Structures are given as structure tokens and as C-alpha cells.
Amino acid sequence: MKGDIKLRVSKIEKSFPGVKALDKIDFAVTKGTVHVLCGENGAGKSTLMKIINGIYQPDGGQIFIDEKPVKISNPIQARNLGISMIFQEMNYVPEMTVEENIFLGNLPVNKFGMVDWKKVRRHTEELLKAEGLPYSPTTLLKDLTVSDIQMLEIIKAISYKSDIIIMDEPTSAITLKEVHKLFEKIGQLKARGVSIIYISHKLDEIFQIADDITVFRDGTVVESHPKEELDIETVIALMVGRKLTNTYPKEEIELGEDILKVENFSSQNVYDNINFHVKSGEIVGFAGLMGAGRTEVMRSLFGLDPKSSGVVKIKGKEVNIKNVRQSIENGMVMLSEDRRRYGIIPMRSVKENTTLSYLKKVFYGFFLHSKVENDIVSNMFKRMKVKTPTIETPIASLSGGNQQKVLLAKWMIRNPDILILDEPTRGIDVGAKFEIYKLMTDLAREGKSVIMVSSELPELIGMCDRIYVMAKGNITGEIARKDFSQELIMKYATGNLTISGVK
Amino acid sequence: MQIKGNFWSTFKKRYSIYLVLLALSIVCSFANENFFTANNLTNISRQLAVTTILAFGETMLIIAGMLDLSAGSVLALSGVFGVSAYKATGSIMIAVLVAILTGVICNIINAGMISTFKAPPFIATLAMLTMARGVALLYTKGQNILKLDKLTILGQGSIGIIPIPIIFLVVVGIFTWYILNHTKLGRSLYAVGGNKEAAVASGINVPKVLYTVFIINGVLVGLAGILFMSRVNAGLPNGAVNYEFTALTAAIIGGTSFSGGIGTAGGTLAGAFIVGFLDNIMNLTGVDSYMQQIVRGAIIALAVIYDIYTKNRKTKAMLGKQDDADKTKVVKAS
């Protein structure tokens, strides 16, 4: 019965203290199709999904399944109605096994009320086999990689035999190969008549799998169309409410001397014999698959993790960086890939988060110099277009993009020579991405050196002057801007092509 | 309207504890005519001085994601050593210095276990609790040291009309406020307690911060030790049992968050006085002492539930606003 409306919401409203998250949302999903939701952060997509999944209650409006009105008070009810959801933030218990996690909250019991572990084992083995996942039901979750766990979340949701599956950024942590596997899976599910609501920021991916696309902005539905009637440019324009003329504000800048030179950099079993250099005014990219060792190299360089050997030269002078303080003093700073874990102090104000990198600038003599601090922070926020109610607002209440800008501002007040940006645009919206690219260009123009580690090839290709590709702890390729192509990068990244003697 | 709402919520968040204290003192004044007298209030403050000085130390530690269960035992050990030093030399100055030094040494060991050997603060300071009490008993062979002569001036004397313990209380309070609001150390404490890994990645010297805050705590515990012994006019190796819990109670009621990163000196002072006023009014009105314990426990529970309730509401509001802001993975171990 393709063509029938499976799920429909009508005039859904939801407010949080001080924010109208959803304003009279109308939206419908057809049976056996993939309906993609896109929109900037804070546009209301996840809130709507949480309402459909019973996590939030709407202030007004109605949900219909098969055109019958339903009330969904909690996720268990949602599951009974055939709705399951894959969250972008994975919920799992690291100390539990694969089978325990799959059946968490849903353990089958025998007639004595005891857990039927045999059944659990059998079902898990079947599921793992069907999906071609190579680990055993008794593996502990903490021993799996992030992408394995994400795949597990996906099969867990599928295992409920739902006919509406909500996927909130399912590909943010999995490898390209697994993305293909996921898309195949989605195809099979569609053929079975399952409806899929798919939230993603990755526009190229959206156009691969969508049947319909709905764009959200500021808690309202802007437009909803079949994929054929839209293109990437239009979707971006709808999302941000304006046309972005240039996705990558790249400028040709004359390069100066080598600022950073890394030679024979090694750490046992993590990465080996890493050699690279970055010039003044240059943006250098690091591409590679997850686990290639890019983040590990950068963390060692920045003094967060130890290295076993190697020489680092900054402006021609050999430096021995053993901790973050020494790195900062040598003019090298790093924005970490995991904003929540290594970035923000969630309950403290944006002001405190910003000046944390430069306390001696605001605390001198016997007192905190509030005015100096406020000026430094306000000026930097103005320059970086940080949107915050006040500078006393806790950083956790800002959107992801603004949090990222605050963290960048934290380093900018040190006026560094070398900026290492590890996945600087992960999980932030198009507008904020553009501003971060813009800032990178500005920095390059000022003669700074920028290293960008990213898993998104389009942004590496768009922004960098040169790209190093890593695979299995080694640099396998170095590509100049004129030779950039996704195919070439992927060849190096998968180890199908290597060059020797990288300079 | 928005601004007004924000103003009120900020106001409530920042000052609610003082409003509670004010309301409580008004209720107490009506409940018993002896409550709001200079004499009674001075007495309460004098009694509160020792545990509140401990509470200021605990506040700084909790903000940094630490805590000190050994405070009561180390207080007794410091006091006993200080008193012995006084007996041997007759110098109040030396007595105070010995007590402080003892507190500092014990807390350097605490910091060492926690920062250098990565022991959880709860267990490390639990070990110190047992050890310090043992040393105090071993050293005194379990006997109280009596007749402190002139040393009693610290705990019982006054400068003008103000009792010396209250002066110490005020000085330590201002000191704590100053550290938390006006020093690099204070900012670092909030950062380390709020997110240790982010603090490291921002260039904060976390071991140095932890050693420093434990050393400060040691100074306060040592000071509290000599004040305590001087007030009771004896060196009691078995004294001040469970004082760390009274101190922790004051800090918790004063809004210090056990998740780290949140707390103020003023809040802790207010928390200490809320507990002190309640104890006092229950004594004045003749409430059974067992009953008093139940009330005190219930108040801790209420304070914590209130803290978590307001935090949850805030988090929910943030979730709504933040929406799908992050793809960063959060492992929620339950």
C-alpha cells in the first residue's frame, strides 16, 4: 500500500522556558519512504522527533498513525506503536556485553520470570550474522569502536521490527563502508514498507537516500518537497534563510616560511614516522579514515599524550613539548574533536570558558580585572560573531555552533601562530560552519598556520592548500591543491596507494 | 517579559539561599524570644566557627571535584600536636604553627594519593580519616591533654566585644571568597571540577591546582584544630568526630554541587548558619535531640533534591534549545 500516509503530525507546538521550539508543525511521512529532515541546529528537528518518540509531550497538536489519532506518552508506548529511534547520542552501558545491550529494557523472560538467556543468545547471534558483524554476543561494549557501537544501535532499532524508524544523524560516527551498508539496509527496510525519518547535516548523503525532504527553520517547517524538486543549493538556502554565495571562502594567499616542522614523529603502536610541515599563511588538511591516527598525532603534538620519539620545530627552533602549557607558550593551540569531553566546562559562563586559556591576562596584582576580562571577551565575541544572551550565560545553554565559536575564541585571545583544528565543524550548522571557514581564511591571511583534521572531504578540498592523508598510523600521501580529488584521497586513505619519501 | 523572567531566575538562583536564611531567622525570632539576642547569636557563631572553617575548605575541594572525609580526624591530630607544642614551649604562636603544619602534611598526603597515584578522593581521604585518628590516639596513648592555660584565649577570648573564633571565621570566609573570585587558582578550581579533561586541554596545571587546594584545606583544618582544642580547654584525640559531615552539610545546603564546578563562599556561610539556627531553635524550644538528627537529615535531603530538581529543569530547557546541537558522543553509564 505505498503512497499511504503512515505518520502525520498536525499543528504540533512545544515551548521550553524562553524558547518556542516548535510552532504549529505539519508534517507527514509516506509508507515505505525515506523522509529527510534538515535544518540548522536549534531548528526543532530533534525536538519533533523526541515528541514522536514520546520523550517530550507536545503543548498542542495531534499525532496520527495510519490516520488514526494517537497519544504517545513515553518511548515504550512509541515502541508498541511501531516507532523506534536511533539517537545521535548513543546510550549504552560500556561494562555490558553486546547481547545485554541489544536486549536492554526488553529482556525475554520464561514462565518463572527469569531471563531467558538462551533466547537472548540465539537472537543476538542471528542478528549479528544477518548484519555480517564479526564480534561475539559476549564482547563488552567498551571493547568496541564507536562505529561498531553505532552499527549496533542501528540493528537494535531494526530488531524491534518497527514500521517507523527515526534515525538522528546515524552516520556521524561510522566509516564510509558502513554508511554504504546502512544505506543498503535502509533500502531493504523501505522495500518491506518501513517508513524512515532521517535527520542529517550531510547534504550529499541526504540526496543519496531521500524520497522527500522537509526543511526546518526556527521551529517551523519552511518547505517540504519530493527530492526531485530540490537541489543542494536550494536546500542550504532554505535552511539558512539566505543564499550562501560561496560555501568555502578560500583565498589565494602567498605562503611564507615553514612555521611548524615535524620529523620522525612516532608513538609505539599508535603512529609511526610522521613527517610534515606547515608554512605561514597555509591551511594544511589531514584526511583519513577513523582510527588512522590523525587525532593521536595532533594530541601528542599539543602535549596531551606522550610521544616516543621525533623532533618538532617551531619557527626553526626545536621545541620539546611535554604538556599543553608548553605548547601554548610556543604559540601552538588545538581545538579538540570532542567538544563536550575536551572542550567546554558546561556549567561555567562563556566568559570563564573563554579566558581559561589566558588567566594571567585577567588576574594580576591581587585581583581579577573584571573590566579587562569583559573587554577581551566582548571584543573577541564581536569579531567571531558569537551569539549569546550575555557573557555570563553558561556555555552549555548555547547551540553547538556557538559553543564551538567560544572554544575558538578561547584560543584566539592567545593570538597563536599555529592552530590545530580537529574536526572543527563536526555537528554544527551550515551558518556556523561558514563562519569558521571564514575565520580560518582570515587567520591564514594574517600569516598564521592552520592544520585542519577532518573526515569531511568536501571541506578539506574546499579549504586546504595541501592535504596529508593518513592510514593505519602512517602518512600515506601528500596532495597539492591542484591535484585534489575525493578519489585520490580515498585511495591513499584506504591504503590502495602509497607514496614513499614524503617531504 | 523575557528580560524580567531572566532577571528573576538569576536572582532566585543567586540569592535564594540568603532568602531562606532570612526567612528562617524571622521564624526563629517569633518562635522564641531568646533567639534574636546579641548573646545568643554570638554564641551560635562561636559554636559554628570550627565546623564552618572546615566547610570553607570542603567548599573549595568540592568545587574542584574533590572532597575531604579526613577533616575531623586531621583536625583532632593537628589540635593534639598543637597543644603538645604549646605544653612544651609555652608559645601560642608555635602551637598554631605546629597545628597548621600537621594539617598541611596530612593534606599533602591526601593530594598525593589522589593526584599522583590517582586514588578516588572518597577512598583516599577515608584512609586518611582512619590513619590520622590512629596517630592522634597512639601519640596521646588515648589520654586527653588537660589544662591549656593561656592557649584557651584563642577559643574563649575576645578582641573588644568580638570573640576570637568569630574573627577567624570572618577572615577565613573572606579568604575563601577572595580565592574563589579573584585568583587564577579559583578559576582553575571551577574549571577542574567542571570538566577536568577540558581543563587539561586548556593548559591548566591540574596537579598543581589539586595540591594547592589540599594544602589550603590543610591550613584551615589545622587552624580549626587549635581553635577547637583551645575552646574546650583540652587536647582531645577523640574529639571532633564526624565534623567533616557537619562541614559537608553546610556546603551542600549552601548550594555547592557535588558534580563539581559550582559553589560559593557566601552560600556555604549561609548553609552553615541555616544548620546552626535550626539546631539552636530546636534546643531553645526543647526539641528532643534524637528528633534534631532526623530534622537535620531531612534538610540535607531537601537541599539535594532541590538542587537536582532545578538542575533537571535547566537541562531540559537547554535540551530544547540546543536541539540537535551536537553529534559528540556521550556515554551514559547508568
d(CA A400, CA A386): 11
Which domain range does residue B185 map to? 31-308
Contacts with B11 (C-beta within 8 Å, 6 or more apart), sequence order: none
Q: What is the pLDDT of residue A496?
A: 64
- Angstrom CA distances, B118 to A291, B110, B122, B191, B210, stand at 28, 11, 12, 19, 12
Which among B94, B97, B78 has a CA at the least distance from the CA of B86?
A: B94
Q: What are phi and psi of B247, to 5 degrees?
A: -65, -45
d(CA A464, CA B172): 55
Whether A41 and B324 have beta carbons less than 8 Å apart is answered as yes
Q: Mean per-residue pLDDT for B304-323?
A: 60
Retrieve residue A176's grid coordinates.
564510509
Examine residue A248 and state whether it is found in any structural domain, yes or no. Answer: no
Which among A163, A186, A198, A167 has a CA at the least distance from the CA of A78?
A: A163
d(CA B72, CA B245): 8
Q: What is the pLDDT of residue A143?
A: 79
Q: What is the pLDDT of residue B1?
A: 34
d(CA B315, CA B334): 18
Q: Is residue B205 within 8 angstroms of chain A, CB to CB?
A: yes
**How many alpha carbons lie under 13 Å from residue A30 in its C-beta half-sphere?**
15
d(CA B214, CA B90): 29
Examine residue A382 and state whether it is found in any structural domain, yes or no. Answer: yes
User: For residue B116, what is the DSSP state?
Assistant: I
d(CA A195, CA A167): 11
What is the least distance, in Å, from the CA of A68 to any CA of chain B? 27
**A324/B203 CB distance under 8 A:** yes
Examine residue B14 and state whether it is found in any structural domain, yes or no. Answer: no
Q: Is residue B312 within 8 angstroms of chain A, CB to CB?
A: no
- Angstrom CA distances, A405 to A343, A346, A355, A402, B41, stand at 11, 14, 13, 5, 51
d(CA A60, CA A24): 8
With contacts defined as CB-CB under 8 Å, which chain A residues touch B334? 93
With contacts defined as CB-CB under 8 Å, which chain B residues touch A347? 194, 257, 261-262
Q: What is the pLDDT of residue A502?
A: 39
Q: Is residue B197 within 8 angstroms of chain A, CB to CB?
A: yes
d(CA B127, CA B136): 14
Examine residue B66 and state whether it is found in any structural domain, yes or no. Answer: yes
User: For residue B331, what is the DSSP state?
Assistant: -
Q: For the range A233-236, what are the long-range contacts, defined as Cβ-Cβ under 8 Å and sequence gap of 24 or more? A: A235/A38, A235/A203, A235/A206, A236/A203, A236/A430
Examine residue B149 and state whether it is found in any structural domain, yes or no. Answer: yes
Q: What angle do CA A154, A155, A161 make, to 5 degrees?
A: 110
**Chain B window 261-280: which residues touch A at a Cβ cutoff of 8 Å?**
261-262
d(CA A272, CA A274): 6
Same domain, A142 and A281: no
Q: Is the pLDDT of residue B237 over 70?
A: yes
Same domain, A445 and A479: yes
Q: Is residue B195 within 8 angstroms of chain A, CB to CB?
A: yes
Examine residue A245 and state whether it is found in any structural domain, yes or no. Answer: no
**B202/A410 CB distance under 8 A:** yes
**Chain B window 30-59: which residues touch A at a Cβ cutoff of 8 Å?**
none
Q: What is the pLDDT of residue A201?
A: 73
The domain boundary residue, chosen from A361, A384, A415: A415
Examine residue A249 and state whether it is found in any structural domain, yes or no. Answer: no
Q: What is the pLDDT of residue A125?
A: 87
With contacts defined as CB-CB under 8 Å, which chain A residues touch B330? 89-90, 340
Which among B46, B279, B241 has a CA at the least distance from the CA of B156?
A: B46
**Chain B window 62-91: which residues touch A at a Cβ cutoff of 8 Å?**
none
- DSSP-assigned states of every residue in B33-67: TTTTSHHHHHHHHHHHHHHHHHHHHHHHHHHTT--
Same domain, A297 and A318: yes
**Chain B CA closest to residue A365:** B183
- Angstrom CA distances, A199 to A36, A65, A264, A398, B105, stand at 6, 20, 42, 21, 57
Full-prediction pTM beyond 0.90? no
- Which of A342, A377, A393 is the best mutation test for B, with the most CBs of B within 10 A? A342
Examine residue A251 and state whether it is found in any structural domain, yes or no. Answer: no
With contacts defined as CB-CB under 8 Å, which chain B residues touch A398? 322
How many domains does chain A contain in total? 3
Which helix (H) or strand (E) element contains residue B93? helix B92-111
Q: Is the pLDDT of residue B329 over 70?
A: no
Retrieve residue B80's grid coordinates.
593534639
The per-residue pLDDT for range B257-266, each reduced to its tens digit, is 888 999 999 9
d(CA A351, CA A355): 6
Amino acid (1-letter code) at residue A472:
K
With contacts defined as CB-CB under 8 Å, which chain B residues touch A410? 202
3-class secondary-structure state, position B153:
helix
d(CA A395, CA A406): 8
Q: Is the ipTM of this complex over 0.85?
A: yes
Examine residue A491 and state whether it is found in any structural domain, yes or no. Answer: yes
Whether B88 and B288 have beta carbons less than 8 Å apart is answered as no
Mean pLDDT per block of 10 residues along chain A (503 residues) reads 79 76 88 88 80 89 91 87 79 80 78 86 85 81 76 76 85 75 86 89 82 87 87 79 69 90 91 94 91 90 92 94 95 92 93 95 89 95 90 88 93 96 86 90 95 89 94 91 87 69 37
The domain boundary residue, chosen from A200, A216, A240: A240
Q: A63 - beta bridge partners?
A: A9, A70
d(CA A312, CA A319): 6
With contacts defined as CB-CB under 8 Å, which chain B residues touch A146? 329
d(CA A174, CA A171): 5
d(CA A143, CA A137): 12
Examine residue B329 and state whether it is found in any structural domain, yes or no. Answer: no
Same domain, A188 and A49: yes
Which among A190, A134, A180, A135 has a CA at the least distance from the CA of A158?
A: A190
**B194/A345 CB distance under 8 A:** yes
| Maximum C-alpha span of chain A | 76
**Residue A42: left (phi > 0), alpha (psi -120 to 50), or beta?**
left
Examine residue B19 and state whether it is found in any structural domain, yes or no. Answer: no
Q: What are phi and psi of B19, to 5 degrees?
A: -65, -40
3-class secondary-structure state, position B5:
helix
Contacts with B160 (C-beta within 8 Å, 6 or more apart), sequence order: none
Amino acid (1-letter code) at residue B288:
D
**A342/B201 CB distance under 8 A:** yes
Which domain range does residue A76 map to? 5-240
Same domain, A210 and A324: no
Retrieve residue A107's grid coordinates.
529482556
With contacts defined as CB-CB under 8 Å, which chain B residues touch A363? 182-184, 187
Strands A212-217 and A34-38: parallel
Examine residue B24 and state whether it is found in any structural domain, yes or no. Answer: no
Q: What is the pLDDT of residue B12?
A: 67
Rg of chain B's alpha carbons, rounded to an integer? 21
**How many alpha carbons lie under 13 Å from residue B251 in its C-beta half-sphere?**
30
**First-to-last C-alpha distance (Å) of chain A:** 61
How many domains does chain B contain in total? 1
The domain boundary residue, chosen from A240, A266, A299: A240
**Chain A CA closest to residue B191:** A345
Strands A418-422 and A258-267: unpaired
Examine residue A89 and state whether it is found in any structural domain, yes or no. Answer: yes
Q: Model confidence at B121, in pLDDT bands (50, 70, 90)?
A: very high
The per-residue pLDDT for range B168-208, each reduced to its tens digit, is 999 999 999 999 999 999 999 999 999 999 999 999 999 99
Q: What is the CATH number of the domain that holds A297?
A: 3.40.50.300
Same domain, A204 and A316: no
- DSSP-assigned states of every residue in A49-70: HHHHTTSS--SEEEEEETTEEE
Q: What is the pLDDT of residue A91?
A: 66
The per-residue pLDDT for range B3-13, each reduced to its tens digit, is 444 566 666 66
The per-residue pLDDT for range B124-140, each reduced to its tens digit, is 999 999 999 999 999 99
| Closest Cβ–Cβ partner in B181, B188, B195 for A344 | B195
Examine residue A250 and state whether it is found in any structural domain, yes or no. Answer: no
**Chain B window 156-185: which residues touch A at a Cβ cutoff of 8 Å?**
181-184
Q: What is the CATH number of the domain that holds B177?
A: 1.10.3470
